[in-house]
Chain A
């Protein structure tokens, strides 16, 4: 690396800095400013309207419930998948390709795919009917069946977004030297002990980034929910969309956006703290 600093690197990063400044930092500040301005000057009116809305408490509850159920399940499922895949010798690439397909699928498409399964005259009901469990087409995705709707959304989210956790974890597993597990095996450590005492601690950085990524995305969940349940299941990002597009009230939409950002940042900070790795713990 050249010791003297030339102008070249600055010229190379400048376009992206300007771009991110204009389309990331400016809108960020704008959102916060917009959320605090109603009429004239600084006011909390938008936040009061947001909190006073009928759907607000429900949207908070639903979004948190979804995140708290989906994200941990995804990590467990992805860990299981990763362990199975690493045991493979033949057909590993093919299996991995299939398991990572959902990575490229949009949340809207995922919602629609599960709608095909779960709609009134769908495949789940056909199977239940064949087993004699239901009499005819039954609705699972309406306001009358909130629990079933919740599980439908959980299923679709698990289906769509476990792949990204899997990919991050496998990338992390590849960095762990095989010798560690082999040494432990020689000293008589059982597979479960090896997993909890060696793999998991060394996988912490990957777990951390997977959790941050997934949690931030889980708090802005929107299209899956809309595809399956329409507005029967209010979530935070969905409310922001409705206030912006249907009610044309940009202030309240911005208040929702600030709330989502605050929650995401808090979650990120929490993960960075709880799952921090000291440099000497790395292999």
Chain B
């Protein structure tokens, strides 16, 4: 067995990591099983998405890809309504990002930098949202949304998705701003910046990566949400609402194509924010 220098270093710094090779083998076997458990369904739905009508009914199936083509996928995208649904999903998710940051980040900043009366009440309001199945609140909104002209618009959907993402954004940005020493800001004030200028020039650049991660989470929350989006749309469906509606009547390979398109951005986004994942959830779950 060869041991690299890096490995030697880590093993010497932490005794508990010096596992005997038999246990190490067991550990990696277990991890390999877990990794396969996560990846295999994604791989199989991809095969279904690119395999077309014939692929779905082939029997018995082989787990190796055979005659895959983009034709199946482009056929799916050409179905009336699919492209529109995709666009609606993107608009709703984009608006959710804008709203949850625009409303959540100032609140996070206030919680991080000030002590004020009603602080705990506000925190309670934010935490209260977690004890409720929020998407279900779309049910009574149907009536008021119809009256306000918001029903069946991506904008209306993004409003309810912002309720899901906002508490999260407020809590995460709070800890983000707490991590930026207030002395930096105070120094800027001394040099003649207004509070706003100090925030824009000093705090914002430092907070940007964390804000980007928060934005990505908001996007994923909206992109994935099914229930509220299905309740609040009829013609201008988001992709999830569209897929849910056609579940019963559409052929299997179209369903797999839809599922695959839903999965792709999530995988990329989780990769983009993997560094923040634990910090963010450590905070948001307090």
Contact = CB atoms under 8 A, between A and B. Distances in A.
Contacts of B138: 27
Residue of B110, B111, B133, B230 with highest tally of chain A CB at under 10 A: B133
A270 to B, nearest CB: 11
A84 B266 contact: no
B106 A13 contact: yes
Tell me the dominant secondary structure on chain A's binding face. Answer: helix
A123 B223 contact: no
Interface residues of B, number: 110
A171 B278 contact: yes
Contacts of B34: 81, 84, 99
A209 B10 contact: no
A219 B133 contact: yes
A68 interface: no
B274 A250 contact: no
- Interface size range on A against B: 35 or more
A106 B224 contact: yes
Contacts of A170: 278
B77 interface: no
A110 B226 CA distance: 12
Given A116-B256, A168-B281, A93 B274 contact: yes
A240 B262 CA distance: 24
Interface stretch (B66-74, B79-87, B157-165, B202-210): B157-165
Interface in B223-282: 223-227, 230-231, 240, 243-244, 247-248, 252, 255-256, 258-260, 262-263, 265-267, 269-271, 274, 277-279, 281-282
B41 interface: yes
Nearest to B258: A112
Interface in A153-178: 159, 164, 167-168, 170-172, 174-175, 178
Contacts of A171: 278-279, 281-282, 285
Contacts of B109: 12
Interface in A125-143: 125-126, 129-130, 136-137
A164 to B, nearest CB: 8
A23 interface: yes
B191 interface: no
Contacts of A95: 31, 35
Contacts of A20: 125-126, 129, 163, 166-167
Given A9-B116, A27-B141, A210-B285, A121 B278 contact: no
Given A98-B39, A174-B278, A260-B133, A107 B224 contact: yes
Contact of B107 (A12, A102, A167): A12
Given A88-B27, A206-B285, A223-B240, 17 more contacts: A8-B110, A12-B106, A89-B7, A95-B35, A98-B38, A99-B38, A101-B270, A103-B277, A108-B244, A110-B41, A123-B44, A167-B281, A212-B130, A237-B133, A245-B231, A254-B139, A257-B133
